[in-house]
Protein backbone atom coordinates (compact mmCIF):
# COMPACT_ATOMS: atom_id res chain seq x y z
CA UNK A 1 0.00 0.00 0.00
CA UNK A 2 1.19 3.48 -0.85
CA UNK A 3 2.44 5.62 2.01
CA UNK A 4 0.09 8.43 3.06
CA UNK A 5 1.31 11.86 1.91
CA UNK A 6 -0.18 13.60 4.97
CA UNK A 7 1.79 11.96 7.77
CA UNK A 8 -1.25 10.11 9.17
CA UNK A 9 -2.75 6.78 8.12
CA UNK A 10 -5.07 7.06 5.12
CA UNK A 11 -7.91 5.28 6.97
CA UNK A 12 -7.78 7.89 9.74
CA UNK A 13 -7.69 10.75 7.22
CA UNK A 14 -10.72 9.37 5.38
CA UNK A 15 -12.61 8.99 8.67
CA UNK A 16 -11.86 12.59 9.65
CA UNK A 17 -12.93 13.85 6.21
CA UNK A 18 -16.17 11.88 6.53
CA UNK A 19 -16.84 13.34 9.99
CA UNK A 20 -16.18 16.88 8.74
CA UNK A 21 -18.44 16.46 5.69
CA UNK A 22 -21.12 14.90 7.90
CA UNK A 23 -20.97 17.84 10.31
CA UNK A 24 -21.21 20.32 7.42
CA UNK A 25 -24.22 18.52 5.94
CA UNK A 26 -26.12 18.39 9.22
CA UNK A 27 -25.13 21.97 10.03
CA UNK A 28 -26.50 23.22 6.71
CA UNK A 29 -29.77 21.32 7.13
CA UNK A 30 -30.26 22.58 10.70
CA UNK A 31 -29.43 26.14 9.62
CA UNK A 32 -32.07 25.91 6.87
CA UNK A 33 -34.59 24.57 9.39
CA UNK A 34 -33.89 27.42 11.82
CA UNK A 35 -34.08 30.03 9.07
CA UNK A 36 -37.41 28.76 7.75
CA UNK A 37 -38.86 28.30 11.24
CA UNK A 38 -38.01 31.88 12.22
CA UNK A 39 -39.35 33.33 8.97
CA UNK A 40 -42.80 31.69 9.21
CA UNK A 41 -45.30 33.32 11.56
CA UNK A 42 -47.60 30.34 12.12
CA UNK A 43 -45.03 27.63 12.88
CA UNK A 44 -46.78 24.98 15.01
CA UNK A 45 -45.83 23.83 18.49
CA UNK A 46 -47.23 20.32 18.14
CA UNK A 47 -45.13 18.17 20.41
CA UNK A 48 -46.86 16.94 23.55
CA UNK A 49 -45.07 15.37 26.51
CA UNK A 50 -45.19 11.82 25.06
CA UNK A 51 -43.27 13.04 22.02
CA UNK A 52 -40.73 14.82 24.22
CA UNK A 53 -40.17 11.63 26.26
CA UNK A 54 -39.75 9.67 23.03
CA UNK A 55 -37.12 12.18 21.85
CA UNK A 56 -35.31 11.92 25.19
CA UNK A 57 -35.28 8.13 24.93
CA UNK A 58 -33.93 8.28 21.36
CA UNK A 59 -31.22 10.72 22.48
CA UNK A 60 -30.27 8.42 25.36
CA UNK A 61 -30.01 5.48 22.92
CA UNK A 62 -27.75 7.44 20.55
CA UNK A 63 -25.47 8.66 23.33
CA UNK A 64 -25.31 5.12 24.71
CA UNK A 65 -24.31 3.72 21.31
CA UNK A 66 -21.46 6.22 21.19
CA UNK A 67 -20.25 4.62 24.40
CA UNK A 68 -20.68 1.07 23.06
CA UNK A 69 -18.58 1.97 20.00
CA UNK A 70 -15.87 3.23 22.34
CA UNK A 71 -16.00 -0.11 24.19
CA UNK A 72 -15.70 -1.93 20.84
CA UNK A 73 -12.65 0.12 19.85
CA UNK A 74 -11.02 -0.48 23.23
CA UNK A 75 -11.69 -4.22 22.96
CA UNK A 76 -10.25 -4.18 19.46
CA UNK A 77 -7.11 -2.40 20.60
CA UNK A 78 -6.59 -5.07 23.23
CA UNK A 79 -7.07 -7.77 20.54
CA UNK A 80 -10.30 -9.09 22.14
CA UNK A 81 -12.27 -9.91 18.98
CA UNK A 82 -15.21 -11.47 20.83
CA UNK A 83 -15.76 -8.38 22.98
CA UNK A 84 -15.35 -6.06 19.98
CA UNK A 85 -17.95 -8.08 18.08
CA UNK A 86 -20.33 -8.04 21.06
CA UNK A 87 -20.08 -4.27 21.51
CA UNK A 88 -20.56 -3.62 17.79
CA UNK A 89 -23.70 -5.79 17.79
CA UNK A 90 -25.03 -3.83 20.78
CA UNK A 91 -24.30 -0.62 18.86
CA UNK A 92 -26.15 -1.88 15.78
CA UNK A 93 -29.10 -2.98 17.93
CA UNK A 94 -29.24 0.52 19.43
CA UNK A 95 -29.35 1.99 15.91
CA UNK A 96 -32.20 -0.31 14.93
CA UNK A 97 -34.11 0.56 18.13
CA UNK A 98 -33.58 4.27 17.43
CA UNK A 99 -34.99 3.83 13.90
CA UNK A 100 -38.04 1.95 15.19
CA UNK A 101 -38.80 4.69 17.73
CA UNK A 102 -38.34 7.29 15.01
CA UNK A 103 -40.73 5.50 12.68
CA UNK A 104 -43.28 5.33 15.49
CA UNK A 105 -42.99 9.12 15.90
CA UNK A 106 -43.44 9.63 12.16
CA UNK A 107 -46.49 7.37 12.04
CA UNK A 108 -48.06 9.34 14.89
CA UNK A 109 -47.59 12.65 13.03
CA UNK A 110 -48.80 11.15 9.74
CA UNK A 111 -51.85 9.83 11.60
CA UNK A 112 -52.57 13.37 12.79
CA UNK A 113 -52.50 14.69 9.22
CA UNK A 114 -48.94 15.97 8.78
CA UNK A 115 -47.59 15.44 5.27
CA UNK A 116 -44.63 16.87 3.36
CA UNK A 117 -46.52 20.01 2.32
CA UNK A 118 -49.64 19.76 4.44
CA UNK A 119 -49.95 20.56 8.11
CA UNK A 120 -53.18 20.74 10.12
CA UNK A 121 -51.62 23.11 12.71
CA UNK A 122 -50.24 25.93 10.56
CA UNK A 123 -47.29 26.37 8.21
CA UNK A 124 -47.31 23.79 5.40
CA UNK A 125 -43.49 23.73 5.37
CA UNK A 126 -43.44 22.24 8.86
CA UNK A 127 -43.94 18.71 7.53
CA UNK A 128 -41.31 19.12 4.81
CA UNK A 129 -38.73 20.45 7.25
CA UNK A 130 -39.50 17.98 10.05
CA UNK A 131 -39.46 14.92 7.80
CA UNK A 132 -36.35 16.15 5.93
CA UNK A 133 -34.25 16.89 9.01
CA UNK A 134 -35.30 13.83 10.97
CA UNK A 135 -35.23 11.66 7.84
CA UNK A 136 -31.63 12.63 7.10
CA UNK A 137 -30.68 11.77 10.65
CA UNK A 138 -32.57 8.49 10.59
CA UNK A 139 -30.97 7.55 7.24
CA UNK A 140 -27.57 8.29 8.76
CA UNK A 141 -28.25 5.97 11.72
CA UNK A 142 -29.91 3.27 9.60
CA UNK A 143 -26.95 3.35 7.21
CA UNK A 144 -24.58 2.65 10.09
CA UNK A 145 -26.50 -0.27 11.62
CA UNK A 146 -26.36 -2.61 8.57
CA UNK A 147 -22.73 -1.62 8.09
CA UNK A 148 -22.03 -2.91 11.60
CA UNK A 149 -24.19 -5.99 11.10
CA UNK A 150 -22.65 -6.75 7.72
CA UNK A 151 -19.06 -6.10 8.78
CA UNK A 152 -18.79 -6.27 12.57
CA UNK A 153 -15.09 -7.07 12.39
CA UNK A 154 -14.28 -3.75 10.72
CA UNK A 155 -13.48 -2.14 14.03
CA UNK A 156 -11.04 -4.98 14.72
CA UNK A 157 -9.24 -4.60 11.39
CA UNK A 158 -9.13 -0.79 11.31
CA UNK A 159 -8.16 -0.45 14.96
CA UNK A 160 -8.67 3.31 14.99
CA UNK A 161 -6.89 4.95 17.91
Mapping DSSP onto H, E and C, the string for 102-131 reads HHHHHHHHHHCCCECCECCCCCCHHHHHHH
The answer to whether position 1 is within a domain reads no
pLDDT of 145-155, one tens digit each?
Answer: 666 555 555 55
Q: What average pLDDT does range 89-117 have in this prediction?
A: 90
Secondary structure percentages of the chain, helix, strand, coil, to 5: 75, 0, 25
Can you tell me whether residue 42 is helix, strand or coil?
coil
Number of domains forming the structure of the chain? 1
Among 8-17, 35-44, 142-151, the minimum mean pLDDT is found in 142-151
The predicted structure's pLDDT at residue 156 = 46
CA dist 103 → 12, 17, 36, 68, 81 (Å): 33, 30, 24, 23, 33
The answer to whether position 5 is within a domain reads no
* Higher pLDDT among residues 48 and 28, named by residue: 28
Residue 160 pLDDT class (50, 70, 90 cuts): very low
Q: What average pLDDT does range 112-122 have in this prediction?
A: 88
The answer to whether position 63 is within a domain reads yes
Whether residue 37 contacts residue 147, with contact meaning beta carbons closer than 8 Å, is answered with: no
Residue 100 belongs to what domain range? 10-158
The answer to whether position 2 is within a domain reads no
What average pLDDT does the chain have? 83
Residue 24 pLDDT class (50, 70, 90 cuts): very high
Q: How far apart are CA 65 and CA 87, in angstroms?
A: 9
Can you tell me whether residue 79 is helix, strand or coil?
coil
Residue 161 pLDDT class (50, 70, 90 cuts): very low
Q: What average pLDDT does range 9-34 have in this prediction?
A: 88
CATH number at residue 56: 1.20.120.80
Q: What angle do CA 30, 33, 35 make, to 5 degrees?
A: 110
The predicted structure's pLDDT at residue 46 = 65
Amino acid sequence: MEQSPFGIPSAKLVMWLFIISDACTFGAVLFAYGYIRNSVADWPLVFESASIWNALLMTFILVSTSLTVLFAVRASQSEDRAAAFKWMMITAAGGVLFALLHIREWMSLIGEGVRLFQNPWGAPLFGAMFFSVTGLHMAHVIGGAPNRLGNPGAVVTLRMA
